Amino acid sequence: MSMPTIFVSHGSPTLILNDVPARGFLASLGKELPKPTAIVAVSAHWNTDVPAVSLARRPGTIHDFYGFPDALYQLRYDAPGAPVLAERVARLTGAAHDPHRGLDHGAWVPALLGWPEADIPIFQLSVQPDESPAHHIALGRKLAPLRDEGVLVMGSGSATHNLRALVRSGAASEPEPWAQAFDDWLADAVARGDEAALAGYRSQAPYAEANHPSDEHLLPLHVAYGAAGEGARGRPLHRSFTLGNLSMAAYAFG
């Protein structure tokens, strides 16, 4: 059976320290899926002009954030890299090589929660914020053969991502209608496998600009969708909100 592809919303870096539903979901991820032979992590936090893959044999844990609790900076994810597979992904996609890139929090936070044993090889593939969602769907399609080898393509971003609108007080709050409307639209488009809608979300989704002032946090979803192959549909793995308007939705495609 082919491995599904997934998209997860990784939230704030402090998600890994907080007792919220999304953390509980990510902690169950390894039980929700067959154990991968390797993980290709497509994170919203590695942005390049052209696709690039990380070939590090022992990717370091990148703490790419500032002003957070000290406990967060003590966390490490010491899984091995997969340079041979990464080189193959580079050939499939035409991606450039980065021999030193480690794992940013878009990769290591969900990986540490889902596969805490750190025994699955993992490496990253970058996104190109100056390119379209359609470009990223096409990029994902080039990864589709990996599914039959048990490789998990994991897009990691955010189903909604407007940092200026977040409720940072820590108090629980219902998402505002503009965030809920976009989140519901996305869930429907994913369930229908509507490639045209997903590629054209900027003009088709309600409140697209309010939910995504820039594209980079949704582009990993487009890669995961593309990697599931032609005609793929998605199913929800989890839906919740944190910080008021930050959707933590996650989907499996296949």
Report pLDDT for 170: 55
Q: Please report where in the chains the tokens 């990253």 appear, as a residue.
A: 124
Q: Which residues of 104-142 are buried (b: 16+ CB within 10 A; e: fewer)?
A: bbbbbbbbbbbbeeeebbbbbbbbbeebebebbbbbbbb
CATH number of the CATH domain containing 76: 3.40.830.10
Average pLDDT in the 121-130 region? 98
Report the alpha-carbon distance of residue 217 to residue 247 in Å, rounded. 11
**Cβ neighbours for 73, distance < 8 A, ≥ 6 positions apart:** 63
Q: Please report where in the chains the tokens 């999304």 appear, as a residue.
A: 22
**Cβ neighbours for 228, distance < 8 A, ≥ 6 positions apart:** 4, 5, 140, 144, 147, 234, 253, 254
Q: Is 121's pLDDT higher than 70? A: yes
Determine the length of the chain.
254
DSSP state of 244: T
Write down the pTM of the prediction: 0.97
Number of domains within the chain: 1
Report the alpha-carbon distance of residue 153 to residue 146 in Å, rounded. 8
Report yes or no: 178 and 211 within 8 Å, Cβ to Cβ: yes
Q: Is 92's pLDDT higher than 80? A: yes
| Among 250, 253, 245, 242, CA closest to 17 | 242
User: pLDDT tens for residues 158-206?
Assistant: 999 999 998 866 555 689 999 999 999 999 999 999 999 999 999 999 9
Report the alpha-carbon distance of residue 118 to residue 224 in Å, rounded. 22
Average pLDDT over the chain reads 96
How many Cβ atoms sit within 10 Å of the Cβ of residue 84?
A: 10
CA triplet 159, 44, 138: central angle to 5 degrees? 85
Residue spans of beta strands (DSSP E) within 125-187: 151-157
Helical (H) or strand (E) element with 93: helix 83-93
Report pLDDT for 174: 85
Domain range for residue 185? 5-253
| Among 2, 18, 17, 25, CA closest to 159 | 25
- For β-strands 246-247 and 241-242, DSSP reports them as antiparallel
DSSP state of 250: E
